[in-house]
Amino acid sequence: MADDLKRLRSEIEETNLALLELLNRRARIVLEIQRFKTEHDIPAFLPQREQEMLAELMRRNTGPFSNRTIHQLFSEIIGASAELIDLGREVVALPRAEPMIVRVGGEMIGGEQPIMIAGPCAVESEAQMETVAGFLAGLGVRFLRGGAFKPRSSPYSFQGLGSRGLQILADSARRHGLLAVTEVMDPRAVEEAADSADMLQIGARNMYNYDLLREVGRCRRPVLLKRGFSATLDELLWSAEYIISEGNEEVVLCERGIRTFESQTRNTLDISAVPLLQLRSRHPVIVDVSHAAGRRDILAPLGRAALAAGANGLMVEVHPDPDRARSDSQQQLSPDEFVRFLAEVGFPGTARP
């Protein structure tokens, strides 16, 4: 009896090894096809072919595995092969290619020093932006954020100053030698925003807005792409690919918290996203601590944690007078609080001469 069991087990082992050999053989053919396609400039990925393969295999299947199981196992095998090859322009490539540096004006995102993007949630007035810009420039911060178009849950909430807001932001940034970062929501407004801002932001709510992604992919500005608050990391990388596939490779990824059951924070900062995105893509990764926390009192520990995890920069909301802010008043730092925040996270910026 023990012999029978032994024999069956060694049959399993033989089959395992034969499967191992076949799987790797399949992977080699896939790589060869890929090389061939690249040489001859043939599109890499044909989802229809995949479906046909699966259908064929289910037709040929005689069991004991069900068609469902066969579909699932081969989807895994096809998926594993796909990971081997260069999807699009390498966003998803493993192992990590040389990390890239995204240049905005004279600044580098992804270089040795982490960057800091700061400024109010929304551009509210010239006076407000002038105050903030001067203050930030004095602290050595190089990136000024400010929303001209604000995505708000309610159509009756303050929606931003629009074009005038863009102008105020650009003027304040220029006067103080800062780089302006601003969100775009409407594909028809991308050109105008690209004319005045140095970097365009795609907000969490628009991570799946593919026509918008394509539009910023066609403009000549670096893009800060925020993770949707329920987007998987895969989906974030695919959204980056929408931008890249239009010709704009200057994409910075931004983790800003995901939606979970925990209600002490506005979102749950997914700190693992930082190393995982860096393992799986070449793009710099920054962390927006303000939207993750939704409260001021834990921003410094979160900022420190993000940098310790390897983030290439932080984004923080700073307002001259948070209690009077027209949006997000709970999470914006006052100037004093921001100075403390910089010290607590150990930001190496220094005032320009």
Distance CA 248, CA 220 (A): 7
For residue 270, what are the contacts with CB-CB under 8 A and spacing of at least 6?
A: 255, 257, 258
Q: How far is the CB of 150 from a second copy (least distance, A)?
A: 9
User: Minimum distance between the CB of residue 252 and a second copy, rounded to whole angstroms?
Assistant: 18
Whole-number Å distance between alpha carbons of 350 and 353: 9
Per CB under 8 A, the list member of 25, 164, 175, 352 interacting with a second copy is: 25
Measured from the CB atom, is 171 or 189 closer to a second copy? 189
129: tokens are 């932006």
Q: Is 135 in the site for a second copy (CB under 8 A)?
A: no
Per-residue tokens: 177: 């030698």
Tell me how far apart the alpha carbons of residues 304 and 95 are, in angstroms, rounded to a whole number.
27
Closer residue to a second copy, CB minimum distance, 88 or 105: 88
- The answer to the question of residue 302 lying near a second copy (CB under 8 A) is yes
Residues 231-290 binding a second copy (CB under 8 A) are 232-235, 238-239, 241-242, 245, 258-265, 268-272, 274-276, 279
Cβ closest to a second copy, residue 89 vs residue 174: 89
Q: Does 353 bind a second copy (CB under 8 A)?
A: no
Q: Give residues 63-122 in contact with a second copy (rule: CB under 8 A).
A: 63-65, 69-74, 76-77, 80, 83-84, 87-88
Closest distance between a second copy and the C-beta of residue 222, in Å?
19
Does 301 bind a second copy (CB under 8 A)? Our answer is yes
Which residues fall within 8 angstroms of residue 217, CB to CB, at 6 or more apart? 223, 242, 243, 244, 245, 246, 247, 248
* Residue 310 binds a second copy (CB under 8 A): yes
CA distance 179 to 55: 53
Q: Which residues contact 231 (CB under 8 A, 6 or more apart)?
A: 204, 207, 208, 239, 258
Among 103, 126, 157, 164, binds a second copy (CB under 8 A): 157
Q: From residue 186 to residue 215, what is the string marking binding to a second copy with x (rule CB under 8 A)? A: xxxx---------------xx-xxxxx-x-
Which residues are CB-neighbours of 244 under 8 A, at least 6 positions away? Answer: 88, 89, 91, 217, 251
- 265: tokens are 């924070």
Question: In terms of CB distance, is 95 or 353 closer to a second copy?
Answer: 95
